Chains A and B, each alone.
Chain A
Amino acid sequence: MTSRSRIPFYFAILLLIAAGVSIAVWRHVELRIPWFTGEQQPVWMVEARVDFTGTGEPVLASMNIPDQPPGFRIISEQAASPGYGFSIVEDSGERRAEWSKRDVSGAQTLYFKVQLVPDEQIKPDKPRQRPKPEPAFWEEPQATAVEELLQQAAARSSTPESMTRELIKLLQPDGNAQNTTLLVANDNYINLLNRMLNHAGIPARTADGLALEDARRRQQLRPFLQIYDGDKWLTFNPRTAEQGLPENVLLWRQAATSLLDVVGGDDSEVSFSMLRQTVPALQLAQAQSAENGLGFLSLYQLPIEEQGMFRMLLLLPLGALVVAFMRIVVGIRTSGTFMPILIAVAFVQTTLIPGLIAFLSVVAIGLLMRGYLSSLNLLLVSRISALIILVIFITAGLSIAGYQMGFNTGMTVTFFPMVIIAWTIERMSILWEEEGAREVFVQGAGSLFVAVCAFLLMSAPLAEHLTFNFPELHLVVLGLILLMGQYTGYKLSELRRFHPMKAYD
């Protein structure tokens, strides 16, 4: 018989491990599931407050709300306004929040809250239609002044960006006087800039930004100038000509429409307050998984109860890995191949020390009772069945006794799998009769040692986090277990077992 080549096998293992790791990395990048527990992410909570006075007529209040603000990701939006109908309307590339109510009189306050995460990678989509410069008409003498200024700016620039920068510089009060003073009045500066750029054939618009600072109230929007360079909208500070959006500035309004329209109300105004919060990165990822296309790959969509169950189930492969390692590479003997995993799972519920005490006392009492059962000369099946019932009695007894004595931990005994314990007792008892007490202790201690190792691994917060949030990492565990299945080297225990062979060297 020829030995089959193992190369395809190792290749498949490599593929398996690579697949597990790469899916995990992909999901980490796409869904932003953190690698470690306790990772925090800052979140800005911005609240827009709309105040107006009702005049007794039906009211329709409509406010522009952020739509793909550069540098931020919106994770939630909500409105708080009792008695109002509310909806978010998307219309020709802009998003508006609309409140409506039939009879409104007196002072009214509407709230709109949005949660945002800073994210450098967020860029607005390309506009579906290429923006066109809007024609502007000027009367004399402004028309001449505009033409002159635009010519000066054009002469000093080569691109729409540089043109914009130069124009802003020219329009500053300390610039070359006449034309500027003629054009600029206090309140029309940004509008003027906008119209002049459009006049020069550069699509431009004004956007409203909000400087985010922790725990500020009653903030107002600041205007920014945006021009379209043929590919994307560029943002400028209209006073300093500084290009780009300063850090922590949220562009609340990027469309050409008004910020707030109130029909049926007077004295309307908007003010903003904001708060910086930190949210566990994991929670954020879970909240967003539903929206993301990759979300279907995660367990967050399941009902909470099932999620809890999977949390436990997904730890089992780690236990299996420990058992495989301990048996194949270290060579520890255990009673029952996977009994240690089940005991370890029970330890996860009970915590280690109470679990160990409870387990040892149940098995010890069970062994005593089994001694009596064996003298009854029963058939195997009924003996095991009787043992299961006895084990349940023992656990109930321990729970009650523990509770009466004030140890609540006594009750955790119930987490142990009864049937497994019954079988363990039966096997131990047979082992005792056949091989002697020593073998019982060797195997019992081996099982407990492996169970404790599995427990320590399974109860590590990182293990639980990774197994549940990156279930694909189990492909790696599977690969490792398969690899171990091919391990033909000496076990650690064999180095000891075969040591007398030294004599024959």
Chain B
Amino acid sequence: MGWISPFKLNQLGMLNMNRRNVDYIARYNSRASYPLVDNKLKTKLVVAEYDVRTPRLLQVVRQQHEIPHFREMAEDLTGFAIKPAKGSGGKGITVVTGRDGDEYIKASGARVPSAYLERHLSNILAGLYSLAGTPDVAVVENLVESIPGLAKYSFQGVPDIRIVVFQGYPVMAMLRLATKASDGKANLHQGAVGVGLNIANGHGLNAVQFNRPITLHPDTGLALENIVIEDWQEMLVMASRCYEATGLGYMGVDLVVDVNEGPLLLELNARPGLAIQMANGRGLLPRLRQIEAIRKPHFTPEERAAFAMETFTSRR
């Protein structure tokens, strides 16, 4: 049972929930832009205009009566992901990696009948996973296959990279690795591992699981500090572009690296969590203030990414 004094937290520049909500989300995120990020379908369409690629859209299930046809569509597919368009925090996402006769194989390895998927679709449409319980649509996307260099670190699931983008500048990043405890999901509070990434070069910094520092992945046993993300600059630029696409001043950009298609945008988040600070071992506030102090903002995503790489160098 440990406690830390608020003065020490302040000294470390830790951004807290209330300040994030009042000073950053409420101030920099226009309410009108929320639907763009809260609805994955809209996100897909809007970022496409800014050359940010997303996993291929296979189908959109909008109505209850379309559900029986889902099976016909899924007939030819090997892997796909069913997502509620308005879901949050990875809720309601079911990943199917393959088929075995009539049964589908989930990412966790569990076999489920098609009735399970149909019920899941029905739940999504009824709004069980949507933010305010409003009726929703289900998005079926192509399965993302992670590059082996990253996939080996993760226990099942696709590792994804969360980049916090403030006013178009990438300010902090982390890699999220699924674990057995997180049931193959890259969700930190369910027990996924977060690895802080150096904005300057995409090298791993610290790692945490359940808010506790670790050095080895609990399931794969690999040392986490050796992680290097390739195409780092390209990913930062991609994240930075999302600012132009949505106009959100403070957001989390979730990226994956597909073995065939390269970096893809998974989703945007207008209320990115605070755990990224633990993974990086440093607070967000100094960086956010540094960006706020910029007199002449850079206009292109490339310039902003370059600025961030130059400025936010982290030493271990």
Contact between B128 and A487, CB atoms less than 8 A apart: no
Q: Closest A-chain residue to B206, C-beta based?
A: A504
Q: Is residue A494 contacting chain B, with contact meaning CB distance below 8 A? A: yes
**Which residue from B22, B28, B64, B211 sits with its C-beta under 8 Å from A500?**
B211
Contact between B9 and A380, CB atoms less than 8 A apart: no
Contact between B281 and A504, CB atoms less than 8 A apart: yes
Separation of A497 and B211 alpha carbons in the complex (Å): 7
**Residues in A452-505 with C-beta less than 8 Å from chain B:** 485-491, 494-505
Q: Is residue B5 contacting chain A, with contact meaning CB distance below 8 A? A: yes
Given known A-B contacts A490-B9, A497-B211, A380 and B123 have beta carbons under 8 A apart: yes
Between A377, A380, A503, the greatest number of chain B beta carbons within 10 A of the residue's beta carbon is seen for A380
Q: Please indicate the chain A residues that have their CB under 8 angstroms from the CB of B281 in the complex.
A: 501, 503-504
Q: Please indicate the chain B residues that have their CB under 8 angstroms from the CB of A494 in the complex.
A: 9, 16-17
Given known A-B contacts A488-B19, A499-B2, A380 and B128 have beta carbons under 8 A apart: yes
Contact between A505 and B208, CB atoms less than 8 A apart: no
Q: Is residue B91 contacting chain A, with contact meaning CB distance below 8 A? A: yes
**Which residue from B5, B126, B206, B282 sits with its C-beta under 8 Å from A495?**
B5
Separation of A500 and B64 alpha carbons in the complex (Å): 47
Given known A-B contacts A498-B4, A500-B211, A380 and B27 have beta carbons under 8 A apart: no
Contact between A502 and B2, CB atoms less than 8 A apart: yes
Q: Closest A-chain residue to B249, C-beta based?
A: A1
Q: How large is the interface on B (under 10, 10 to 19, 20 to 34, 35 or more residues)?
A: 35 or more
**Residues in B1-60 with C-beta less than 8 Å from chain A:** 1-6, 8-12, 14, 16-19, 22-23, 27-28
Given known A-B contacts A1-B28, A498-B278, A501-B14, A435 and B211 have beta carbons under 8 A apart: no
**Residues in A422-452 with C-beta less than 8 Å from chain B:** 430, 434-435
Q: How large is the interface on A (under 10, 10 to 19, 20 to 34, 35 or more residues)?
A: 20 to 34
Distance in Å from the Cβ of B279 to the closest Cβ of chain A?
Answer: 11
Separation of A3 and B127 alpha carbons in the complex (Å): 37
Contact between B278 and A501, CB atoms less than 8 A apart: yes
**Which residue from B16, B18, B122, B277 sits with its C-beta under 8 Å from A379?**
B122
Separation of A126 and B91 alpha carbons in the complex (Å): 78
Q: Is residue A197 contacting chain B, with contact meaning CB distance below 8 A? A: no
Distance in Å from the Cβ of B283 to the closest Cβ of chain A?
Answer: 8
Distance in Å from the Cβ of A388 to the closest Cβ of chain B?
Answer: 15
Contact between A490 and B122, CB atoms less than 8 A apart: no
Q: Please indicate the chain B residues that have their CB under 8 angstroms from the CB of A485 in the complex.
A: 22
Q: Closest A-chain residue to B27, C-beta based?
A: A1
**Residues in A133-175 with C-beta less than 8 Å from chain B:** none
Distance in Å from the Cβ of B174 to the closest Cβ of chain A?
Answer: 14
Contact between A499 and B6, CB atoms less than 8 A apart: no
Residues of A within 8 A of B (CB): 1, 3, 328, 331, 377, 379-381, 430, 434-435, 485-491, 494-505
6 extra interface residue pairs, beta carbon distance < 8 Å, beyond A3-B23, A502-B4, A504-B282: A1-B28, A379-B126, A490-B14, A496-B4, A500-B208, A500-B213
8 A-B contact pairs sorted by A residue (CB < 8 Å): A1-B28, A1-B249, A377-B119, A380-B123, A430-B128, A489-B16, A495-B5, A505-B12
